[in-house]
Structure 1
Amino acid sequence: MVGLKTDAANRSFALTRWFASAATLTVPQAAGPVAFSLLALLLTGDASGGAALILVMTLAQVAGAIPITRLGRRRPAAGFLRWLIAIRTASLLVLAVLATADVAFAWLYPLAALAGSVNGAAYGFLRSILNQLTPASNLPRALGVSATLNEVTFVLAPVAASGLGTLSPVLGIAALALLGALPALLVPSTGPVSVEDPLDGGTSVLSPSILLWLTCSAAGSSAIAAIEIGAVALALSFGYAPASAILFTVPLCLASIAGGVWVSVRNQAPSRRAVVAFLSVMTLGAGLAALHISLAVTIMGAVLIGAVLAPLATTYSLVLDRLATPAQRPEVFALLRTSNATGVILASATLTATSLSTALIVVTALVLAVTLTVALGSADQP
């Protein structure tokens, strides 16, 4: 009996460490936009350089997700994850050091790219570790807790980056690098992701079913990014000061946290009908924002989008978990994180090339398209 209690306590402690690792893994992405903008403002007098650094990091993440994940396919997941985090931490710390050395700003881009290139693979291996720490019956709850913590990170990290960056932008970069290094210390050690079922180097995991859910993830990410990136423009469009952008971002984040709590308490994989309902709610929310009727209606749209973020993210993770073999999971979960990044890139590019209203219409149409695809999909799809 004592042995069973000790075993349960060890598993619970390992899972707690995993939650802490998942929450701190995204600190550089969450704090980066503010921290890099303040650094660029200090070095160049123009905050737009920060956005360029984030874009470089995101593009590098998309490019590096699959090849880097395949490099670690036959290695213990936790050990390879620690190497990836070490590369990211070292890159960001060197970037901070160079920022104090009066070098040309262009020298920071390769370091930002190197730091970003491991993000997708790091998430892929971290998510695959979860399967070894909790039974399948508890995966929805675990993913709900993780989604909630992730939203808390995205709420608190920019605030911390702003406070530290006001004191010293270089200190802000160093802080996000060190906080982002915590998963290397916290992640519980596990064995290899899989012992059997090795993948051939040229084998693709992009089956039609997997591609469908990755596309859904990208569409949802683009809708969220359009609100968050366009928040300042939305505030200005209604005649408010730029600081009023929090009227859109904070309700979205709070609704997302509430959605994560709901998933955790419920601890059940949603049905196909429920997934269609969630996607429909996101479509409605994006549509309300695109209509630009009033401030209240637009905020309501942001809340609707945020409310279904965690349930949908949990759904995608659970479905991909079933569709992928154990050997494929790190790569598939890296693709899931990459699909989110792709959605952010799409929203950013659309906002840059067109007006805010056009961008919101585009992302609404994209979410509507995937909603209809899922609703009309064949019955054998998860």
Structure 2
Amino acid sequence: MTERLHAPVSRADAIATQTPPDGLALLRWFVSAAAMGVLQAAAPVAFSLVALGLTGDASGGAAIVLAMTLAQVVGAVPVARLGTAMRAAAFLRILVGIRTLALGCMAVLVSREVALPWLVACAAVSGSVNGAAYGYLRSTLNRLTPEARLPRALGIAATLNEVTFVLAPVLASVVGTVSPAFAVATIAVLGAVPALLVPSAGEACAGDAPETGGSVVSAPMLLWLLCATAGGAAVAAIEIGAVALALSFGHEPAMAILFTVPLCLASVAGGVWVSVRNLKASRTSVLAQLSVMTVGSLLAALDASLALTVAGAVLMGFVLAPLGTYYSLVFDALAPAHRRAEAFALLRTANSVGIILASAVLTVASLPVTLAAVAGMMLAVTSLVGFTHRRARSEPRPATAD
């Protein structure tokens, strides 16, 4: 049984739901969505190689990635609000253009062996528009597919995103060993694809909608933002700590793939499952998926055996796409039509905050402490969702409710 959330429907949304989807436009959107994640997927490897070439120490790459991520968190909402008077696709092209120029400048600076702080500045500029760009890209999907097909489209996008996160680091590593500057330039070129391909047919100008002051976040949104943050932290702890996990079980650092590859493959499988089902999950199903994520993080935190840790990573990976799809659909329904880009930017930012939290704890504490901390976060948000679900079921429903 699917759960329906009702929100005011704009004239453009009505057109989108009545008009059959344009297959070519949707394909262009999928390619754009896959290309949008190239920067975040390839940055850790590419920037580490850049720092290694400049300073002889790869740790400088972490500073560049941190600057990019923090700028994304800070800039997501303010930058998204700047585009409310423009068409979504048009403003997205501007944001992607800014990001591409910043990365192009970085590639030039790397080739000239300029000091690291200048590269950090370029990364911050590219990151400052990244969250808003994702928000506007996601908001254009509503113009391209009917509401009934959104779960399938989001599932396909999640699957492609995981493929990007598998292939982009490999590409950055191969190209970066030849020339770190060329690796950054390659990321810039691939990341510019959305500006060239994102479709704009049938979209309305957000600025035509009534002005709405204050924050776009409501209490239900805040709940799912917390879930996205906790989930992002749990997955990031495995991905960032994969080398340390391999060493703790007596393997070589290269065996970090024992944890990252199963997680990615499980996530791809989860995306395929969402696409095939093409249904919005009920709150009960989402609670079950959060429970699976919690169990997976607890298995990893136990540090009992290699098999259990890998099993935990697989459990987390499999529910990653279903949960992400549900969060996106909830925000789609709860946010005013003219502020959806801002809402989706916030959702993307919540995941980034989770990554920052996991990285911060790993910096000051051991991996076991970090895994325990993120498992505690997952247990807390799952309990909170369970409590709100139980309270909602106990409350009398209006006679007109579905």
TM-score (norm 2): 0.91
Cα offset, 1:196, TM superposition: 4.7
User: What CA distance in whole angstroms lies between the structure 2 residues aligned with 1:130 and 1:47?
Assistant: 38
Pairs within 5 Å for 1:243-322: 243-322=254-333
CA distance in 2, matches of 1:92, 1:247: 32
Quote the offset at 1:206 in angstroms: 1.5
For 2:242, give the aligned amino acid.
A
Q: How many angstroms apart in 1 are the aligned matches of 2:258 and 2:227?
A: 26
Alignment counterpart, residue 209 of structure 1, candidates 220, 233, 239: 220
Pick from 215, 230, 237 the counterpart of residue 226 of structure 1.
Answer: 237
Which residue, out of 204, 214, 217, partners 1:192? 204
- One of 328, 335, 359 as aligned partner of 1:324: 335
Q: Tell whether the 8 Å contact from 1:144 to 1:310 is kept in structure 2 after alignment.
A: yes
- Map 1:98-137; keep pairs closer than 5 Å: 98-137=109-148
Letter aligned with residue 392 of structure 2? A
Indicate whether 1:179 and 2:190 are aligned. Answer: yes
Task: Work out whether residues 129 and 193 of structure 1, in 8 Å CA contact, stay in contact via their aligned partners in 2.
Answer: no
Q: Deviations over 1:66-112 (max 9, x none)?
A: 11000001100000000000000000010110112132111111111
- 1:19 is the counterpart of 2:26: no
Pick aligned residue for 2:58 from 47, 52, 67: 47
Post-superposition shift, 1:198? Answer: 2.9
Task: String of CA shifts for 1:211-254, please: whole Å, max 9, x gaps.
Answer: 11111001100000000000000001111100000000000000
Q: Which runs of 5+ in 1 are unaligned?
A: 1-6
* Matched residue type, 1:184: A
Residue identity matched to 1:379: A
Which structure 2 residue ranges, 5 or more long, are not aligned?
1-18, 396-401
Q: Percent of aligned pairs with the same residue?
A: 62
Q: Distance in 1 between matches of 2:144 and 2:75?
A: 27
Q: TM-score, normalised on structure 1? A: 0.96
1:379 match: secondary structure: helix
Aligned letter for 1:49?
G
Counterpart CA distance in 2 for 1:80 and 1:316 is 24
Give the equivalent residue in structure 2 for 1:334. Answer: 345
Does structure 2 conserve the Cα–Cα contact (< 8 Å) formed by 1:193 and 1:326?
no
User: SS state of the match for residue 143, structure 1?
Assistant: helix
Matched position secondary structure for 1:328 = helix
1:25-64 alignment, distance < 5 Å: 25-64=36-75
Q: Distance in 1 between matches of 2:196 and 2:137?
A: 13
Could you give the per-residue CA deviations for residues 20-44 of structure 1, whole angstroms, max 9, x where no partner exists? 0000001010000000000110011
CA distance in 2, matches of 1:125, 1:309: 22
Which of these residues, 238, 260, 266, is aligned with residue 249 of structure 2? 238
Structure 1 window deviating more from structure 2 (357-366 vs 185-194): it is 185-194
- For residue 110 of structure 1, what is the amino acid of its counterpart? A
Question: In the aligned structure 2, how far is the partner of 1:146 from the partner of 1:137?
Answer: 16
Which whole-Å CA distance do the structure 1 matches of 2:332 and 2:211 have between them?
Answer: 16
SS in 2 for 1:154: helix
Taking the aligned partners of 1:55 and 1:105, their CA distance within structure 2 comes to 13
SS state of the match for residue 136, structure 2?
Answer: helix
Partner of 2:76: 65
Runs of at least 4 residues off by over 4 Å: none
Structure 2 contact 96–192 (Cα < 8 Å) conserved: yes
In structure 2, give the amino acid aligned to 1:271. S
Distance across 2 between alignment mates of 1:375 and 1:356: 28
> How many corresponding residue pairs?
374
Q: Does 1:379 align with 2:395?
A: no
Corresponding residue of 1:3: none
CA–CA distance in 1 between the matches of 2:92 and 2:124? 18
Partner-residue secondary structure (3-state), 1:205? coil
Residue type of the alignment partner of 1:279 = L
- Kindly provide the CA deviation profile for residues 294-328 of structure 1, in whole angstroms up to 9, marking residues without a partner as x: 01110000000000000000000011111111012
What is the distance in 1 between the residues matched to 2:316 and 2:329? 20
1:4: which partner in 2?
A: none
Are the aligned partners of 2:33 and 2:161 in contact in 1 as well (CA < 8 Å)?
yes
Contact 1:124–1:329, Cα closer than 8 Å, also in 2: yes
The separation in 2 between residues aligned to 1:104 and 1:78, in whole angstroms, is 36
RMSD of Structure 2 on Structure 1 (CA):
1.4
Match of 2:4?
A: none
Aligned residue among 364, 368, 376 for 1:365: 376
